[in-house]
């Protein structure tokens, strides 16, 4: 608990988390407003279209939480105060994940509410389980993404490098893999951010439909996809913790 | 007490610290002296568990730093005054440190008062001058009221007033019975601050002794003598002392006997003297002499 309090003080006594949170929320909610204003029909999952943009900002927040510590040497001050590096870094990851989760919920419900305000006539009632997962699940997706971002931050230690890796990976690389003939979509079924998207989908096509369309055929259930995405993030974090423990600070 | 036993830190072929053994005792200010790149900071980082030694070990009262439960209450360190987030206020910086070791948050105001930063406590540390940053670093080191204090080059970039303040401050800490270990590459600074000295060069121990002894050994007195009959005088003097010649002006440099005796010898032999001046070797010269072999980069 002490360490969580420490990391909370550290995170909130700098400005970048506030900026990142504000930017993430503004981008997603703004995107939702644009879509709602221009689309003929607005559905619940359309209101969430901007969450992927916000995720990118949250990934940056997660990476910055670590890389700025390396940049300014405060990570050494941290390890002096808490020689058990693993618990210090796990506490940091937990705090960042919770903050990311909260941002995710604000993004999701904020985007939904914005669409409702702009198109009051649209049927935006969240009534099916799939729709609840689509909206409320954004927080979970962000929290796990933050864990992954912190892990990359610990491994890379430099802001520019960590942010570049996270942006290219989440925005570009996973989509580009699909271009590879034949095996591309098969690989995509096992990529973490693709699985995160699969988890959030309201009406994912059935395996047969995907196969017929040459799209990604997910082998996991939607919750299974979330578990897989989380598993990748945690595995990466474990690697990062082992490296941080061995490395000279 | 800090004890290093055959401490080593190698980076590939480079031996940053090589077979270094020393003891730092409580109640005294111990200077850690060596030219830049001698391995002082690396040694300090190993004491604090930031870097893992390649071999040997270093303990604080018999324990590794990583074994300390609330390390800030045992050891306070100022390794780099820049280790502060520039957007974080001085108070917030000290607050998270206090919380991490269950130190009452009221202590934050106390240490800010001690180092004289109370008025700028809410200001961002990024805007601090080097002197203020050093003071903030010292506040952090004092936070847990620790028995052992480590300072890495604390006077670097400070104005004379700040240097005097730190010097007196370290003496006070030692007088309270604490172990104070402070590194510097300036012997003149250490001569005024430290009671004991650990001198290293290229990662190896050169000497561990009291400052007094070190200075006495390092700065031998000699006498400059100029005479129109230098050759004759030299022949007589070699029986009593070591005599060399100043490469610049050809004056005799006499080690081993005082000026008074040289004068008497000259008079006995009816030799005219143009100069007879006792010289005291400078501290810096002596230090350079001693560490000449172990300086990493030379200017030519």
- Residues A92-114 as b/e (b if ≥16 CB within 10 A, e otherwise) read bbbbbbebbbebbbbbbbbbbeb
Asked if the structure places residue A71 within a domain, the reply is yes
Pick left, alpha or beta for residue B88 (phi over 0 → left; psi -120 to 50 → alpha; otherwise beta).
beta
Q: Which of B12, B81, B83 to mutate against chain A (most A CBs within 10 Å)?
A: B83
Grade residue B19 by pLDDT with cuts at 50, 70 and 90.
Answer: very high
Range of the domain at A169: 2-175+233-246
CB B185 within 8 A of CB B33: yes
Q: Tell me which of B198, B217, B236 is where a domain ends.
A: B217
Is residue B80 located within the same domain as residue B211? yes
Query: pLDDT (tens digit, 9 = 90+) per residue, B23-54?
Result: 999 999 999 998 888 899 999 999 999 999 99
Distance of alpha carbon B270 from alpha carbon B224, whole angstroms: 18
Residues A134-141 have a mean pLDDT of 96
Q: Which of residues 62-81 of A touch B (CB under 8 A)?
A: 68-69, 72-74, 76-81
Grade residue B279 by pLDDT with cuts at 50, 70 and 90.
Answer: confident
Q: Which of B49, B79, B96 to mutate against chain A (most A CBs within 10 Å)?
A: B96
Is residue B87 located within the same domain as residue B199? yes
Across the interface, of A9, A15, A68, the residue whose CB is closest to B96 is A9
What is the least distance, in Å, from the CA of B160 to any CA of chain A?
A: 27
Residues A195-215 have a mean pLDDT of 88
CB A188 within 8 A of CB A194: yes
Asked if the structure places residue A31 within a domain, the reply is yes
Distance of alpha carbon B178 from alpha carbon B174, whole angstroms: 5
Is residue B155 located within the same domain as residue B11? yes
pLDDT at B296: 57
Asked if the structure places residue A210 within a domain, the reply is no
Asked if pLDDT for residue B295 goes beyond 70, the answer is no
Of the listed ranges A163-172, B90-99, B174-183, B208-217, the one predicted with least confidence:
B208-217
CB B6 within 8 A of CB B27: no
CB B28 within 8 A of CB B180: yes
- B74 in contact with chain A, both atoms CB, cutoff 8 A: no
Query: pLDDT (tens digit, 9 = 90+) per residue, B55-76?
Result: 999 999 999 999 999 999 999 9
How many domains are contained in chain B? Answer: 2
Across the interface, of A3, A14, A79, the residue whose CB is closest to B87 is A14
Is residue B247 located within the same domain as residue B211? no
Residues A199-213 have a mean pLDDT of 87
Is residue B200 located within the same domain as residue B251? no
* Chain A partners within 8 Å of B85 (Cβ): 10, 13-14, 68-69, 72, 74
Distances (CA, A) of B182 to B43, B165, B290: 12, 15, 20
Asked if the structure places residue B108 within a domain, the reply is yes
Residues A207-234 have a mean pLDDT of 91
Asked if pLDDT for residue B200 goes beyond 80, the answer is yes
What is the least distance, in Å, from the CA of B91 to any CA of chain A?
A: 10
CATH number of the structural domain spanning residue B270: 3.30.70
Across the interface, of A9, A76, A248, the residue whose CB is closest to B92 is A9
- B54 in contact with chain A, both atoms CB, cutoff 8 A: no
Asked if the structure places residue B152 within a domain, the reply is yes
Asked if the structure places residue B184 within a domain, the reply is yes
- B6 in contact with chain A, both atoms CB, cutoff 8 A: no
Across the interface, of A69, A72, A81, the residue whose CB is closest to B97 is A81
CB-CB under 8 Å, B52 with A13: no
pLDDT at A121: 86
- B144 in contact with chain A, both atoms CB, cutoff 8 A: no
DSSP string for residues in chain B: -EEEEEEEEEETTEEEEEEEEEEE-TTSEEEEE--TTSSHHHHHHHHTTSS--SEEEEEETTB-GGG-SSHHHHEEEES-TT-S-TTSBHHHHHHHHHHHTT--THHHHHHHHHHT-GGGTTSBGGG--HHHHHHHHHHHHHTT--SEEEEESTTTT--HHHHHHHHHHHHHHHHTT-EEEEEES-HHHHHHH-SEEEEEETTEEEEEEEHHHHHHHHS-EEEEEE-TTHHHHHHHHTTTSEEEE-TTT--EEEESS-HHHHHHHHHHTT---SEEEEEE--HHHHHHHHHGGG-SS---
Is residue B120 located within the same domain as residue B204? yes
CB pairs under 8 A between A and B: 80
pLDDT at A136: 95
Mean pLDDT for all residues in chain A: 93
CB-CB under 8 Å, B80 with A74: no
Grade residue A109 by pLDDT with cuts at 50, 70 and 90.
Answer: very high
Across the interface, of B77, B83, B85, the residue whose CB is closest to A14 is B85
Asked if pLDDT for residue A141 goes beyond 90, the answer is yes
Is residue B181 located within the same domain as residue B254? no
Range of the domain at B212: 2-217
- A3 in contact with chain B, both atoms CB, cutoff 8 A: yes
Grade residue A67 by pLDDT with cuts at 50, 70 and 90.
Answer: very high
What is the least distance, in Å, from the CA of A115 to any CA of chain B?
A: 36
Is residue B153 located within the same domain as residue B274? no
How many domains are contained in chain A? Answer: 1
Asked if pLDDT for residue B247 goes beyond 90, the answer is no
Closest CA to B34 of B247, B190, B220, B225: B190
* Chain B partners within 8 Å of A81 (Cβ): 71-72, 96-97, 100-101
- Strands of the B14-24 sheet, one edge to the other: B14-24, B2-11, B55-60
Asked if the structure places residue B146 within a domain, the reply is yes
Grade residue B159 by pLDDT with cuts at 50, 70 and 90.
Answer: confident
Asked if the structure places residue A218 within a domain, the reply is no
Asked if pLDDT for residue B266 goes beyond 70, the answer is yes
């Amino acid at each position: 608990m002490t360490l969580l309090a420490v990391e909370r003080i550290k995170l909130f006594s700098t400005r970048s988390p506030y900026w990142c949170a504000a930017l993430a929320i503004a981008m997603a909610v703004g995107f939702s407003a644009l879509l709602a204003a221009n689309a003929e029909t607005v559905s619940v999952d359309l209101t969430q279209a901007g969450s992927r943009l916000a995720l990118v900002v949250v990934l940056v927040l997660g990476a910055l939480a670590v890389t700025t510590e390396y940049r300014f040497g405060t990570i050494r001050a941290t390890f002096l105060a808490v020689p058990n590096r693993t618990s210090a870094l796990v506490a940091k990851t937990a705090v960042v994940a919770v903050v990311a989760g909260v941002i995710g919920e604000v993004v999701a419900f904020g985007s939904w509410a914005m669409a409702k305000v702009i198109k009051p006539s649209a049927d935006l009632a969240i009534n099916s389980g799939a729709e609840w997962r689509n909206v409320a699940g954004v927080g979970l997706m962000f929290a796990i993404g933050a864990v992954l971002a912190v892990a990359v931050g610990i491994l890379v230690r430099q802001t520019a490098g960590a942010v570049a890796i996270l942006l290219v990976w989440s925005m570009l690389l996973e989509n580009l893999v699909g271009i590879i003939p034949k095996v591309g979509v098969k690989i995509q079924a096992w990529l973490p951010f693709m699985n995160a998207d699969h988890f959030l989908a309201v009406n994912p096509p059935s395996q047969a439909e995907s196969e017929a369309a040459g799209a990604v055929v997910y082998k996991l259930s939607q919750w299974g996809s979330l578990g897989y995405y989380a598993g990748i993030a945690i595995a990466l974090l474990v690697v990062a913790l082992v490296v941080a423990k061995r490395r000279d600070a | 007490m800090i004890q290093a036993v055959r401490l080593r830190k190698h980076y590939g072929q480079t031996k940053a610290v090589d077979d270094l053994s020393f003891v730092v005792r409580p109640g005294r200010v111990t200077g850690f002296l060596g030219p830049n790149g001698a391995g002082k900071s690396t040694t300090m980082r190993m004491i604090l568990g930031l870097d893992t030694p390649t071999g040997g070990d270093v303990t604080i009262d018999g324990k590794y730093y990583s074994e300390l439960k609330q390390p800030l209450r045992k050891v306070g360190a100022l390794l780099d005054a820049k280790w502060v987030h520039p957007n974080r206020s001085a108070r917030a910086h000290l607050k998270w440190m206090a919380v991490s070791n269950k130190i009452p948050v009221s202590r934050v105001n106390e240490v800010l008062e001690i180092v004289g930063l109370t008025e700028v406590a809410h200001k961002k540390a990024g805007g601090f001058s080097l002197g203020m940053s050093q003071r903030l670093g010292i506040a952090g080191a004092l936070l847990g009221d620790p028995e052992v204090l480590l300072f890495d080059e604390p006077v670097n970039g400070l104005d004379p007033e700040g240097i005097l303040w730190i010097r007196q401050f370290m003496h006070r800490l030692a007088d309270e019975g604490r172990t104070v270990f402070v590194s510097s590459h300036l012997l003149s600074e250490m001569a005024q601050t430290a009671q004991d000295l650990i001198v290293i060069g290229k990662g190896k121990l050169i000497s561990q002794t009291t400052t007094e002894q070190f200075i006495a050994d390092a700065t031998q007195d000699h006498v400059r003598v100029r005479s129109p009959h230098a050759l004759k005088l030299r022949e007589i003097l070699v029986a009593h002392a070591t005599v060399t010649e100043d490469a610049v002006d050809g004056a005799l440099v006499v080690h081993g006997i005082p000026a008074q005796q040289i004068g008497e010898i000259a008079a006995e032999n009816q030799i005219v003297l143009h100069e007879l001046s006792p010289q005291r070797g400078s501290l810096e010269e002596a230090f350079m002499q001693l560490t000449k072999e172990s300086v990493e980069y030379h200017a030519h």
